[in-house]
């Protein structure tokens, strides 16, 4: 039987060990904020001049560090750093945990168990503050059960194998997204669509194309006002925060209470395009694909429903673009809380091609979008399996002491 030693985390790891000071040598940084970190994944790293960086950009981040948000721990803003740069910096909203006498992956998985997350959430919720948060010392003083290092590595290897598969799928999803975006730009921005050599252009516009406001092509609707509920009390309620990441994480979207007579009015369907109309992410958009649960959309979102279903892929990529975001930002109102209403969105001007080209575009792009969605659902299954294994491995209920475990490539690279 494996002997687990009960110790405090401060005995095997340091928190917020190094921060920027006057001697810091870099003028440019790669900054990771809390919103960019979700469920073990870092979605975005900002390249900033140090002088223009937020005041909270202070924590120096190194390889194998664990990032764990001290704000609203129930939202699971955590990740492990595999390859950092000398100028990688994190927000002071993170507890940056550097492992000294414990395997970094083992500690990461321990800290991200459901029970430890609930423990941190309970402490955060009891603080007298504007929002739920905890002091990093809570982690330092927390007890942890630790098996011998070889067992730590085996546990980490099993769980990391799932994470490697998930990461590989995420890379494939990113490639599919870039391919769809690049084909859109090639056909509809650079005008190098199939057969363009035989088409006449008038002042840069292909014959048969028209300049149209998006309001001519879609119907708009504001969402439903309700509070999110963790219990399955009704349909899912898609919110602004759900459409900001690269993919909609439907498993994290809450449910809501709504009268049956109103569901049909707000029910999301394939081809719907949702746009954030307020907050820091105003103008962010997502198109709804085929495989989604029964869902409605919240009041801070605007639904753009294409009048012609065949337009939805073309319009979905057009609206989920930097060009659309820049257009919306040029019309923003509200100093404290930026806002843009449906009337502003309807003014967005684009070149609208002929139906033959749109149908060709759909035939090329639709398989990309469907595969991207299937890969995401495959990731959900991998995450569920890993999460079911996690507590059993960490507690020793599932013994792997006598198993000959092959270490995944990610761990082999670190030990090399």
Contact 340, 282 (CB under 8 A): yes
Residue 307: is it exposed, middle or buried by C-beta count within 10 angstroms (0-12/13-18/19+)?
Answer: exposed
Classified by CATH at the fold level, domain 1-146 comes out as Adenine-n6-DNA-methyltransferase TaqI; Chain A, domain 2 (3.90.220)
What backbone phi and psi angles, to 5 degrees, belong to 135?
-80, 140
Per-residue model confidence (pLDDT) at position 411: 63
Q: How far is the C-alpha of 64 from the C-alpha of 306, rounded, in Å?
A: 47
Per-residue model confidence (pLDDT) at position 400: 81
Other C-beta atoms lying within 10 Å of the C-beta of residue 135: 13
Sequential DSSP letters for 137-192: HHHHH-EEEE--HHHHHHHHHHHHHHHHHHHHHHHHHHHHHHHHHHHHHHHHTS--
Q: How far is the C-alpha of 160 from the C-alpha of 313, rounded, in Å?
A: 36
Identify the segments of the chain with pLDDT beneath 70: 1, 128-129, 333-336, 407-416
Q: How far is the C-alpha of 336 from the C-alpha of 317, rounded, in Å?
A: 29
pLDDT, tens digit, for every residue of 241-295?
899 877 888 988 999 999 999 999 999 999 999 999 998 889 999 999 999 999 9
Per-residue model confidence (pLDDT) at position 230: 86
Find, among 212, 211, 213, 215, the residue nearest to 302 by Cα.
Answer: 215
Is the fold of 1-146 the same as that of 210-352?
Answer: yes
**Tokens representing residue 245 in the block:** 């990441």
Q: How far is the C-alpha of 332 from the C-alpha of 329, rounded, in Å?
A: 5
pLDDT, tens digit, for every residue of 278-293?
988 899 999 999 999 9
Q: How far is the C-alpha of 298 from the C-alpha of 237, rounded, in Å?
A: 6
Q: How far is the C-alpha of 249 from the C-alpha of 412, rounded, in Å?
A: 30
For 210-352, CATH number out of 3.40.50.720, 2.30.40.10, 3.90.220.20, 3.90.600.10 equals 3.90.220.20
From first CA to last CA, the distance across the chain in angstroms is 30
- Find tokens 């989920």 and name the residue: 320
Q: Where are the alpha helices (DSSP H) in 36-148?
A: 104-111, 114-125, 137-141
- 405 DSSP 8-state letter: P
pLDDT, tens digit, for every residue of 21-69?
988 999 999 999 998 898 888 888 999 999 999 999 999 999 999 999 9
**Tokens representing residue 121 in the block:** 């959430």
Other C-beta atoms lying within 10 Å of the C-beta of residue 327: 20
- Angle between helical axes of 355-395 and 149-188 (0-180°, round to 10): 170
The rounded Cα 295 to chain-centroid distance in angstroms is 19
Per-residue model confidence (pLDDT) at position 334: 61
Could you tell me the residue ranges of all domains in the chain? 1-146, 148-194+360-416, 210-352
């Amino acid at each position: 039987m494996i002997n687990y030693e009960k110790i405090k985390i401060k005995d095997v790891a340091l928190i917020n060990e190094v921060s920027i000071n006057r001697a810091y040598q870099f003028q440019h940084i790669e900054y990771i904020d809390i919103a960019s970190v979700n469920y073990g994944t870092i979605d975005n790293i900002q390249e900033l001049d140090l002088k223009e960086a937020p005041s909270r950009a202070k924590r120096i981040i190194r390889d194998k560090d664990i990032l764990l948000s001290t704000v609203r721990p129930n939202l699971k803003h955590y990740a492990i750093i595999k390859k950092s740069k000398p100028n990688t910096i994190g927000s002071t909203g993170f507890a940056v945990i550097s492992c000294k006498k414990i395997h970094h992956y083992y500690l990461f998985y321990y800290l991200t168990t459901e029970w430890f997350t609930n423990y941190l959430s309970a402490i955060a919720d009891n603080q007298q503050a504007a929002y739920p948060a905890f002091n990093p010392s809570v982690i330092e003083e927390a007890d942890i059960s630790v098996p011998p290092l070889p067992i730590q590595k085996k546990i980490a290897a099993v769980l990391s194998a799932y994470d490697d598969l998930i990461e590989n799928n995420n890379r494939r999803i990113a490639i599919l997204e870039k391919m769809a975006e690049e084909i859109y730009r090639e056909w509809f921005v650079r005008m190098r669509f199939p057969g363009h050599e035989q088409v006449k252009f008038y002042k840069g516009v292909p014959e048969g194309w028209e300049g149209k406001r998006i309001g001519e092509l879609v119907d708009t609707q504001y969402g439903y006002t309700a509070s999110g509920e963790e219990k399955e009390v009704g349909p899912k309620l898609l919110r602004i925060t759900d459409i900001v990441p690269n993919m909609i994480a439907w498993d994290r979207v809450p449910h809501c209470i709504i009268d049956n007579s109103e569901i049909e009015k707000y029910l999301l369907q394939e081809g719907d395009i949702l746009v954030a109309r307020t907050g820091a992410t105003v103008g962010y958009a997502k198109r709804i694909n085929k495989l989604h649960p029964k869902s409605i959309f919240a009041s801070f979102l605007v639904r753009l429903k294409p009048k012609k279903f065949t337009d939805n892929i073309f319009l979905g990529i057009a609206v989920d673009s930097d060009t659309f975001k820049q257009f919306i930002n040029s019309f923003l109102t509200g100093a404290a809380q930026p806002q843009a209403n449906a009337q502003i969105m309807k003014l967005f001007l684009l070149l609208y091609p002929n139906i033959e080209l749109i149908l060709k575009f759909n035939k090329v792009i639709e398989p990309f979008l469907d595969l991207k969605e299937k890969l995401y659902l495959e990731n959900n299954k991998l995450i569920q399996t890993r999460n079911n294994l996690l507590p059993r491995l960490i507690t020793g209920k599932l013994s792997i002491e006598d198993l000959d475990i092959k270490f995944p490539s990610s761990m082999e690279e670190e030990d090399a």
